[in-house]
Amino acid sequence: MEKYVIENQESFNLKHIFECGQCFRWNKEDDGSYIGVIKNAVIKVKKENNKIIFTGNCKTKDFKSLIRYYFDLDTNYSEYKEKLSKIDEYMKQSIEFGEGIRILKQDLWETIISFIISANNNIPRIKKIIERISEKYGDKIEFEEKEYFLFPTIEQLSKASVEDLRALGLGFRDKRIYNTTQMILNKEFDLEKLKKLDNTYLMKEELLKLDGVGPKVADCILLFSLKRIDAFPIDVWVRRVMNDLYIHNEDETKVNKKELEKLAENKFLGLSGIAQQYLFYWKRELEG
DNA sequence: ATCCAGGGACGCG
DNA sequence: CGCGTCCATGGA
């Protein structure tokens, strides 16, 4: 069993991190810890006083560096929070509410598939579907005498037919997952090239070529995997909270998307993705 | 029963 | 380009 402990880590609240809608494979245990499967590892995260204890089963990578990368521990969120808090009282309030949020750096392949599944779907069901996909196509890994399943590799998931995927409850997203998997498998779409592009716009333009990836899903991939903090995913919640706070349109569903993007860009100073996540968590926890 | 979910593809004008 | 419509599924 691997173990890694950090002390006095700023901005690290388990609930805030794992339940702010950015990830789907973490589950709360009875003792308050969370267990999740990332890359080739099962990881348990527990908070005790001023310590955060990571334990797990990690076969192929250095445990410590995997943790530090995934949780982005070399980024200081205090600076983000300070800047955003100065913008207005709403930002200050939402940051106090979700003070322990960190944006994770999740595996690109898994994030692409996960957020294609997220389209017109709800978080509990997204989690269930991803779990089923992992059980059926991913490798088994054990931890504390229990079985877990890694998210399937590109090759593993490419074995699934459209019908296989439909049988897992994917609904109309079956073909999208199939097509995107094949595009990535045969290098028609190159994940490594994507990572090397030097700005968010170019990356987004590239991601939009994938079946099932539209503006919102692309922004989620950019923010939750590639850590492009200027990406601003607009879903029903973000649209709602932005309208409530800044636009005051009678019908929030009619708020223009371009207008929203421009507002976020001007207001949040290149940190719109971070701001978005505090606002999303705040609104959704209080009203969801 | 009807509505809704971290939307996107597609066809239309 | 902007806009409506359809798309599976399951929980409220």
Q: How confident is the model at residue A288 (pLDDT cuts 50, 70, 90)?
A: confident
pLDDT of residue A117: 98
In this prediction the pTM is 0.97
A208/B5 CA-to-C1' distance in Å: 22
A253/C3 CA-to-C1' distance in Å: 14
* φ, ψ for residue A100, nearest 5 deg: -100, 15
Is A218 near strand B, with its CB below 7 A from some atom of it? yes
pLDDT of residue A7: 98
Domains along chain A? 2-74 (3.30.310.260), 78-92+229-288 (1.10.1670.10), 108-224 (1.10.340.30)
pLDDT at A16 over 80: yes
pLDDT at A159 over 80: yes
Is A172 near strand C, with its CB below 7 A from some atom of it? yes
pLDDT at A144 over 80: yes
pLDDT of residue A278: 97
pLDDT of residue A251: 84
Element (H, E) at A28: strand A26-28
pLDDT per residue as tens digits for the range A172-212: 999 999 999 999 999 999 999 999 999 999 999 999 999 99
Is A183 near strand B, with its CB below 7 A from some atom of it? no
Is A176 near strand B, with its CB below 7 A from some atom of it? yes
A1/B4 CA-to-C1' distance in Å: 43
pLDDT per residue as tens digits for the range A76-116: 999 999 999 999 999 999 999 999 999 999 999 999 999 99
Is A111 near strand B, with its CB below 7 A from some atom of it? no
Is A231 near strand B, with its CB below 7 A from some atom of it? no
The DSSP secondary structure of A35-104, one letter per residue, reads EEEETTEEEEEEEETTEEEEEEEESSS-HHHHHHHHTTTTS-HHHHHHHHHTT-HHHHHHHHHTTT----
The average pLDDT across A266-281 equals 95
